[in-house]
Amino acid sequence: MDKLRMVGGTPLKGEVVIAGAKNAALPILCACLLTDQAIVLRNVPDLQDVRTMLKLLQEIGVTVTFPDKADRSHMVLDAAVIKSSEATYEMVKTMRASILVLGPLLTRMHSAKVSLPGGCAIGARPVDQHIKGLKAMGATIKIKSGYIQAETKLPLGRLKGASILTDMITVTGTENLLMAATLASGTTILENAAREPEVGDLAELLVKMGAKISGIGTDRLVIEGVEKLHGAEHAVIPDRIEAGTFLCAVAAAGGEVLVKHCRPDTLDAVITKLKDAGLEIEVGPDWIKARMQGRPKAVSFRTSEYPAFPTDMQAQLMAVNAIASGSSTITETIFENRFMHVQELNRLGADIAIEGNTAIVQGEEKLSGAIVMATDLRASASLVIAGLAAQGETQVDRIYHLDRGYDRMEQKLTLLGANIERIK
């Protein structure tokens, strides 16, 4: 199992180029299932989760080609032939986002069998809202032997437009129902829809494919179903969480970094908190320049749905708070168990206590390197940030979690002057 070894204390300096967003790429890859014509994608990040999704799509029958062998971010997906409408337990247990094939397969093939995801390290994460929405659109859904077995009634075959109000805001739930609705008969209204930029990016591709969607970027999506969708070309939106992670790294380790090829307009809540922490930030249309001198100041925050502070940045900003002057409280409102990094940060010398869904952080002047274990994707990123700021050597074990969602993170940090290496 690979590990990352780093020696903290070197300020970061230089430029970093942000990849396409993982959480936009995953639903966008699944959207190819909605048409028998080719979808050309650019700016797809080269990550383990993307490779897992491509493997699942290939099992379903999609052909995947890379026109330029040296560029894995540019690919052509062709779902002319669907040979299986199934996502097996083996695939779904590897990556929960596999659930995103349910809506597209059901609406195009009129039946789909997808393993029900189990619990997850960060929370129970049920998919009841995905199922409720598809049922409202006329699907018959049974849970049998651990699988969601969904079908639409013949002879009509198509899902029917419906008005759907989800009990909570769900990102992949909105994406699944949005994709399903594109080929349904009649109009679907998704109320309480997630407004995350990744949902908007998926919707933009669907419109290019011929879908009729209004309200993109709002919490009310109106989809007028069409009979067929066609091929399209699309570049995936830059990853706001990767950009935010590098900004936190600068805030913790110090230095001056130009974050290129990002979308600052999708990072308002993160930028506001980092400015409060003392990070000097200059913003252009697709870049952010960040400079940190001295120790960060503690900032309290609570996670919430977009446009508020993202849960996917909670662990990284907590690492900054761990070495900040002052104390802070961090409240996690999206997932019930997303504090697994706390014990590991404490192994590095942080002083963090948990009370319910709130972490209370007393900033420490210095952290000291140690061997720590990554427990999930964003937890791994927070440990790397803490390790870059700590004195001495830190080793982060189980970085397969990091590889699921960050495109060559240690190489990018090396280019910024960090003393970091991967140990095989």
Residues that bind ligand EPU (CB under 6 A): 22-23, 26, 97, 123-130, 168, 170-173, 311-312, 334-335, 377-378, 405
The CA–CA distances, whole Å, from 2 to 94, 238, 374 equal 18, 27, 11
Cβ–Cβ < 8 Å for 138, 153 = yes
Q: How far is the CB of 167 from ligand EPU (least distance, A)?
A: 7
Catalytic residue among 30, 32, 120, 262: 120
Task: Rank residues 55 and 125 by Cβ distance to ligand EPU and give the closer one.
Answer: 125
Query: What's the first-to-final CA gap in the chain, in angstroms?
Result: 7
Across the strands, what pairs with 76? 40, 65
Task: Rank residues 46 and 280 by Cβ distance to ligand EPU and give the closer one.
Answer: 46
CA distance 361 to 16: 29
Q: How far is the CB of 259 from ligand EPU (least distance, A)?
A: 18
Q: How far is the CB of 27 from ligand EPU (least distance, A)?
A: 7
CA distance 382 to 394: 12
Q: How far is the CB of 196 from ligand EPU (least distance, A)?
A: 6
Task: Rank residues 335 and 339 by Cβ distance to ligand EPU and give the closer one.
Answer: 335
Closest by alpha carbon to 331, among 305, 350, 304?
A: 304
CA distance 199 to 393: 40
Judged by DSSP in three states, 399 sits in coil
For residue 312, what are the contacts with CB-CB under 8 A and spacing of at least 6? 23, 241, 378
CA distance 125 to 110: 26
Active site residue 262: no
Q: How far is the CB of 333 from ligand EPU (least distance, A)?
A: 9
Task: Rank residues 270 and 292 by Cβ distance to ligand EPU and give the closer one.
Answer: 270
Q: Count CB-CB contacts under 10 A for residue 199.
A: 24
Task: Rank residues 281 and 399 by Cβ distance to ligand EPU and give the closer one.
Answer: 399
Cβ–Cβ < 8 Å for 106, 157 = no
CA distance 87 to 179: 17
CA distance 267 to 316: 14
Task: Rank residues 308 and 360 by Cβ distance to ligand EPU and give the closer one.
Answer: 308
Relative orientation angle of helices 314-322 and 240-253, to the nearest 10 degrees: 0
Closest by alpha carbon to 198, among 20, 406, 407, 404?
A: 20
Q: How far is the CB of 170 from ligand EPU (least distance, A)?
A: 3
Q: Annotated catalytic sites, by residue?
A: 120
